[in-house]
Amino acid sequence: MSFRIIVLAKQVPDTRNVGKDAMKADGTVNRAALPAIFNPEDLNALEQALRIKEMLNGKEEVEIIILTMGPTRAAEIIREAMYRGADKGYLITDRKFAGSDTLATSYAISLAVKKLAPYHLVISGRQAIDGDTAQVGPQIAEKIGIPQITYAEEVISIEKNKITIKRRLERGIEIVETPMPALITVHSSAPACRTRHAKMMMKFKHARTITEMQEETKDYTELHTARPYLHIDEWSVADLDADVEMLGLSGSPTKVKKIDNVVLQQKESKVLTSNDKDIEMLIKELISSHVIG
């Protein structure tokens, strides 16, 4: 039996670099203008999976599966992971997932993970930058009933049925040991992911989902029959045998009552220059109002 690692990844809008083009005239963010990227901590997670594969080289045959949930376009990050060393990809996609909160999302992904059993490890980023919740990983672990190691920074060692991990906490570190299967979420302080490999890019450039193939004019049938690893499987609600009531809005206990765009509010601010008179006036004022001194 091969040693299977499932890497969970998400395609996210790049909320960290909101440039001038993404700002609307009213000071709010135009979300459609943000580029879609591989969630940064999920890349840290992929790197850990690749390192485990290297650590087990010669001992176990390691297979790295990349699993994501999202629209057709999310297949982009599956290919990206393949260019960096993942072996096979699965895309969970269905309109019925729309509106899912973390609980409903973790339900859908946990079903897909179960379908990929037997596996040794499930590895994901600690959190995605569009929501920053860090909830989906632990919720999947609870649903499957396996241990979770969050905030992982480094895999220290791996043995037949045991993995030792360094965790990065706010005020220190912790080294923990867990039996497998287990779920690990990786912190941004972990090593960055290696770059694309030219050979892998050649190998996987024609990897497609069925929907992508239908949308393109090129005929992939022959190529995909000869090289089955190019086929990115799409799983729908039916494929996962999921209870529709537990998905989307009906499966989500949290509801968004209101969204307020952050608008830079103009305070009544005094603009000062760097000349001595201005600075002295300011310091005197701060002292006399007991803010400093």
Partner 1 sequence: MNNLFVYCEIEDGIVADVSLELLSKGRKLANELKCKLEAIAIANNIKGIEKQLFPFGVDVVHIADDAALYPYTTMPHASIVINLIKIEQAQVVLFGATSVGRDLAPRVASGLKCGLTADCTSLVVGDHTENKTGKEYKNLLYQIRPAFGGNIIATIINPETRPQMATVREGVMKKEKISSEYKGEVKIIDFKKYVKDEDFVVKIIERHIEQQKINIKGAQIIVAGGYGVGTKENFNLLFELADLIGAEVGASRAAVDAGIVEHSRQVGQTGVTVRPKLYIACGISGAVQHRAGMDQSVQIISINTDVNAPINKIADYAIIGDVSTIIPKMIKYYKENSK
Say which DSSP state 35 is in.
P
Q: Which of 144, 10, 141, 7 is nearest to 62 (CA)?
A: 7
Q: Which of residues 223-252 bind partner 1 (CB under 8 A)?
A: 252
Q: Which of residues 38-97 bind partner 1 (CB under 8 A)?
A: none
What is the residue whose two structure tokens read 């912790």? Answer: 174
Using the rule CB under 8 A, give the single segment among 70-78, 174-182, 208-216, 229-237 that binds partner 1.
174-182
Q: Tell me which of 11, 68, 178, 209 binds partner 1, using CB under 8 A.
A: 178
29 near partner 1 (CB under 8 A): yes
Minimum Å gap between C-beta 43 and partner 1 is: 17
28 near partner 1 (CB under 8 A): yes
Say which DSSP state 230 is in.
G
Continuous segment of H or E residues that includes residue 12: strand 11-13
- Paired sense of beta strands 208-209 and 121-125, if any: unpaired
* β-bridge mates for residue 152, sequence order: 167, 186
293 near partner 1 (CB under 8 A): yes
Residue-by-residue DSSP string for 41-109: HHHHHHHHHHHHHHHTTTTS-EEEEEEEESSGGGHHHHHHHHHHT--EEEEE--GGGTT--HHHHHHHH
Minimum Å gap between C-beta 78 and partner 1 is: 24
| Count of residues of this chain found to bind partner 1 when the rule CB under 8 A is applied | 76
253 near partner 1 (CB under 8 A): yes
If the CB atoms of residues 178 and 209 are measured against partner 1, the closer one turns out to be: 178
Minimum Å gap between C-beta 235 and partner 1 is: 21
Q: Which of residues 256-275 bind partner 1 (CB under 8 A)?
A: 256-262, 264-267, 269-274
Minimum Å gap between C-beta 45 and partner 1 is: 16
Q: Tell me which of 11, 44, 93, 106 binds partner 1, using CB under 8 A.
A: 106
What is the residue whose two structure tokens read 């009531």? Answer: 245
Q: Which of residues 149-168 bind partner 1 (CB under 8 A)?
A: 149-151, 164, 167
Minimum Å gap between C-beta 282 and partner 1 is: 6
Say which DSSP state 29 is in.
B
**What string marks each residue from 110 to 149 as x (binds partner 1 by CB under 8 A) or -?**
-------------------xxxxxxxxxxx-xxx---xxx
Is residue 48 exposed (0-12), middle (13-18) or buried (19+ Cβ within 10 Å)? buried
If the CB atoms of residues 2 and 161 are measured against partner 1, the closer one turns out to be: 161
Minimum Å gap between C-beta 115 and partner 1 is: 19
Q: Tell me which of 33, 169, 223, 244 binds partner 1, using CB under 8 A.
A: 169
SS3 221: helix
If the CB atoms of residues 171 and 199 are measured against partner 1, the closer one turns out to be: 171
Minimum Å gap between C-beta 100 and partner 1 is: 12
The neighbour count for residue 112, using CB atoms within 10 Å, is: 22
175 near partner 1 (CB under 8 A): yes
What is the residue whose two structure tokens read 């809008």? Answer: 13
Alpha-carbon gap, residue 245 to 264, rounded angstroms: 40
25 near partner 1 (CB under 8 A): no
Residue-by-residue DSSP string for 13-31: E-TT---GGGB-TTS-B-G
Q: Which two tokens stand for residue 227?
A: 């090289």
